[in-house]
Amino acid sequence: MTLAVAALLAPAAIHAQDDSSDQAAKRQEQMMDRQKRMEAQKVAYLTREMELTPEESKTFWPVYNKYRDEIDKLDTRRDQALDLNNQDAERKISRDELEKQMKSKFEMERSRIDVDEKYYGEFKNILPPEKLLRFYESDVQFKRELLQKLGSERRGVSDDEMMERRRRMRDAAPQQQQQIQQKSQ
């Protein structure tokens, strides 16, 4: 989610550098408000998709928030490393430096897996297996839908238009497959 939020907020952050400090502060506040709204939407989405009971919610969300804090810290480290890598790409770097960067990348991925495994152990003490599976699936689906929505907003396409396009593509797929089969016979 952090990447999606960063992609959403980056243009506003760049623009804020050119504005006066008052305008920059206002833009920063707007970005924070939008991020809070997206987080609230995610909580509502996951709660609904996982069918959490009030009791499960009471124990799940505090652990989830700690999990997100750790993941966000790792994502920040990764983003900073990517910034350095992009700066390095502008100059010629040695093979040793490239190897060091790759090892660092693998270490960050291992750290992410360690955090995922750690919290999986905690989540499975809170939720039954079927809800835990729904959590992981719903988390990915929420990110996917958020990215699609952000892409639609940038292209100026409404949610209804995007849904209609998807429906038409889904409906057309069987007809296209049938036409291909007829041509091959």
pLDDT 10s digits, 97-125? 888 888 888 999 999 999 999 999 999 99
Chain segment 5-32, per-residue pLDDT in tens: 555 555 555 555 555 788 888 888 888 8
69 lies in some domain: yes
Q: Between 4 and 67, where is the model more confident?
A: 67
Q: What is the mean pLDDT of residues 163-176?
A: 69
Q: How far apart are CA 53 and CA 144, in angstroms?
A: 25
Query: Which residue, 50, 9, 51, 49, is CA-closest to 33?
Result: 9
117 lies in some domain: yes
What's the sign of the alpha-carbon dihedral 18, 22, 27, 32?
A: positive
Query: Is residue 54's pLDDT more than 90?
Result: yes
Which pLDDT belongs to residue 90? Answer: 59
CB distance 91 to 99 below 8 Å: no
11 lies in some domain: no
65 lies in some domain: yes
Average pLDDT over all residues of the chain: 81
Question: For residue 105, what are its two tokens?
Answer: 């990348």
Number of domains present in the structure of the chain: 1
1 lies in some domain: no
Residue 77 burial (CB count, 10 A):
14
170 lies in some domain: no
Q: Between 52 and 9, where is the model more confident?
A: 52
118 lies in some domain: yes
77 lies in some domain: yes
Domain that holds residue 61: 54-126
